[in-house]
Amino acid sequence: MTRPSARDGAVTTPWWKKATGYQIYPRSFCDSNGDGIGDIPGIISKLDHLQDLGIGFIWLSPVYRSPMVDNGYDISDYQDVAPEYGTMQDLDRLIDEAANRGIGLVMDLVVNHCSDQHAWFRKAVASSVCREHDYFIWADATDGPDVLPSDIESVFGGPAWTHLPEVGKFYFHQFASGQPDLNWQNPELRAEIYAMMNWWLDRGIAGFRMDVIDLIGKDVGAGKLAEGPYLHDFLQEMHSQTVKGRDVLTVGESWCASPETGPLYCGEDRDELSMIFQFDHIKATWDPEFGKWKNVPVDLPRFKTTLANWQYALEDSGWNSLFLSNHDLPRQVSRYGDDGTYRNRSAKMLAIMMHLLKGTPFVYQGEEIGMTNANFHSLEQYRDLEVAGRLAEALEKGSTVEVFLEGARRNARDNARTPMQWTAGENAGFGAGAPWIDVNMNHTTINVAADGADPDGIIHTYKQLIEMRKTSAVVREGRTTFHVVDHKQVCAYTRELGDQTIAVVANMSADSVEFVAPPALCGQGQPLVSNIASRHSIDSVTVLEPYEAYAVLRNAQHSKRCCHQNGVVAQHALEA
């Protein structure tokens, strides 16, 4: 295990600032027994791929016991593994086998809500006077079962309240009705959650990714849900009761965090989280009215502004996570690049653009080989409960099935959930049986075996970037400055530390661009990484090829003279 021990005492860079994470969506990663569902033994069989990539930790989407209404984000037992994914023994073996390869395991913690099949909820429904009843959020049906307590809506469509005749009350659920919200106001509930977290930490996991953590401090009566009044008190209490003194990573998912509130979660003096997943740069590309269900082109200046604002907000205290993809988002090459002609080049461009920012990068399974959106053509191919829930709503709002399906093709969550493409063979090498969701037809050309064997494969750029973060202080700590934020095609920034500067330019468009660079970007240096041919300089006028991206490393003397060293030398210069 490369994770340094907290007992060393020395104030060093935390391991997670040098590491790149890799998200596994277990249902879709690798199926070891042919039942069509990915599983833990399947993950173990692919650990060499992750080691080869150089990643430092896995974020494992939920593998707990669950009725799988929302693919495991509805947990019925926090201290057991879903039988379709394996056993606790399998999970312990995964922790060990990953550790043998220097990889930590970060578990998904879903504690804003649980499943309606969890023993807590069953007891809560059976008796209004038991301890567990107050673990959930109830409202009296004063005006009868048809009059909702408030007009709060579920994220998946429909009301956030469901009436239970056997209780005579409504319970609150911000997601599906099978995902009742937990009542964080109850101290006994919080103590149970902390005990559960410690039980996992004692098993040797490397930390937690915390699902919708910005929702736990809610005040439902006041309608204050995200970033509610109790959020930071709870996060500080959680920290002191669980991770304090342990050398682990915590990353909280917060759809509502802003550059103003971001430092509250992860500022160095806050004792809350290591970092958060914020979504400003994702939401910046959605339609103001129909959200992701109506396709609109990416507004690049807006997108860059959000990335820049977050780099600046956490420059001195706090830490960014860096990602464009996860199991809830479309494939990044399809959304921000070109999944046709320029797939290989634009996938590398996005990797270069994101990985050279300050923060901890997260690679979502398949991103490293440029996997694309699912390309589903009928409603029947979708598996996600969100699609059905949101279709009804879009129609009510006056949208059409065609517009909705086009939006879904671009942005539905299932785009990221098709089986991992390992080979060109049957079921893309995912498993022997028919997978639970259709395999992308393009697996015959886009797969791990083909990409890895191609010297020009996307994975090699990922390896290079992941290695740079381990070895280079300027990649990790350099101060970020964005340039030409208003430019409609080019993303450009510099990172500075001591006498070293990394300058990055990325043409995010399918056009060749005559790019006029401001003086701060210009200069000779050493080629660090590129997706076409290596370049030694950014000139005041540079013609960038479609989706071209490259980075140049300069140090004090480079600005004066020309340099003819190659990328290998540059790598050594980084390490110095």
Number of amino acids touching Ca ion (CB under 5 A): 5
Between residues 110 and 238, which has the closer beta carbon with respect to ligand TEU?
Answer: 110
The pairs formed by 341-344 with CB atoms below 8 angstroms and a separation of 24 or more are 341/510, 342/510, 342/546, 342/547, 343/370, 343/372, 343/446, 344/370, 344/456, 344/457, 344/458
Between residues 403 and 569, which has the closer beta carbon with respect to ligand TEU?
Answer: 403
523 near 560, Cβ under 8 Å?
A: no
Contacting ligand TEU (CB under 6 A), which of 39, 211, 414, 548?
Answer: 211
SS (H, E, C) 90-136: HHHHHHHHHHHCCCEEEEEECCCECCCCCHHHHHHHHCCCCHHHHHE
- Among Ca ion, ligand TEU, none, what does residue 35 contact (CB within 5–8 Å per kind)? Ca ion
Least spacing, CB of residue 110 vs ligand TEU, in Å: 5
What interhelical angle do 385-396 and 401-411 show, nearest 10? 140
Number of amino acids touching ligand TEU (CB under 6 A): 13
In DSSP terms, 553 is beta-bridged to: 502, 526
175 binds ligand TEU (CB under 6 A): yes
70 binds ligand TEU (CB under 6 A): yes
* Residue number with the smallest Cβ distance to Ca ion: 39
Least spacing, CB of residue 113 vs ligand TEU, in Å: 7
Amino acid identity of 133? H
256 binds ligand TEU (CB under 6 A): no
Residue with tokens 């401001």: 518
329 near 416, Cβ under 8 Å?
A: yes
211 is catalytic: yes
Residue 531 CA to residue 419 CA, distance in Å, equals 27
- Among ligand TEU, Ca ion, none, what does residue 238 contact (CB within 5–8 Å per kind)? none
280 is catalytic: no
Least spacing, CB of residue 176 vs ligand TEU, in Å: 8
Among residue numbers 91 through 150, which ones bind ligand TEU (CB under 6 A)?
110
- Among ligand TEU, Ca ion, none, what does residue 73 contact (CB within 5–8 Å per kind)? ligand TEU
Between residues 212 and 275, which has the closer beta carbon with respect to ligand TEU?
Answer: 212
Among residue numbers 496 through 525, which ones bind ligand TEU (CB under 6 A)?
none
Q: What is the DSSP string of 319-364?
A: -BEE-S--TTS--HHHHHS-SSTTHHHHHHHHHHHHHTSSSEEEEE
Between residues 110 and 225, which has the closer beta carbon with respect to ligand TEU?
Answer: 110
Non-local CB neighbours of 298 within 8 Å, separated by 6+ positions: 285, 335, 336
- Among ligand TEU, Ca ion, none, what does residue 31 contact (CB within 5–8 Å per kind)? Ca ion
Amino acid identity of 124? A
Helix (H/G/I), strand (E/B), else coil: 415: helix
Site string for Ca ion, 26-65 (x = CB under 5 A): -----x-x-x-x-x--------------------------
Q: What are the backbone angles phi and psi of residue 398, rounded to the nearest 5°? A: 100, 5
Site string for ligand TEU, 327-366 (x = CB under 6 A): xx--------------------------------------
**Which of these, 241, 228, 122, lies nearest to 191 by C-alpha position?**
241
Q: How many CA atoms lie within 13 A of 398 on its CB side?
A: 1
Q: What is the DSSP string of 520-556?
A: TT-EE-EEEEESSS--SEE-SEEEEPTT-EEEEEEEG
Amino acid identity of 473? A
- Among Ca ion, ligand TEU, none, what does residue 116 contact (CB within 5–8 Å per kind)? none
- Among Ca ion, ligand TEU, none, what does residue 255 contact (CB within 5–8 Å per kind)? ligand TEU
Question: Which residue in the list 70, 132, 181, 211 is annotated as catalytic?
Answer: 211
Between residues 31 and 237, which has the closer beta carbon with respect to Ca ion?
Answer: 31
Among residue numbers 286 through 305, which ones bind ligand TEU (CB under 6 A)?
292
Question: Which residue in the list 39, 74, 227, 253 is annotated as catalytic?
Answer: 253
Binding site for Ca ion (CB under 5 A): 31, 33, 35, 37, 39
Binding site for ligand TEU (CB under 6 A): 70, 73, 110, 155, 175, 211-212, 255, 292, 327-328, 386, 413
Q: Catalytic site residues? A: 211, 253
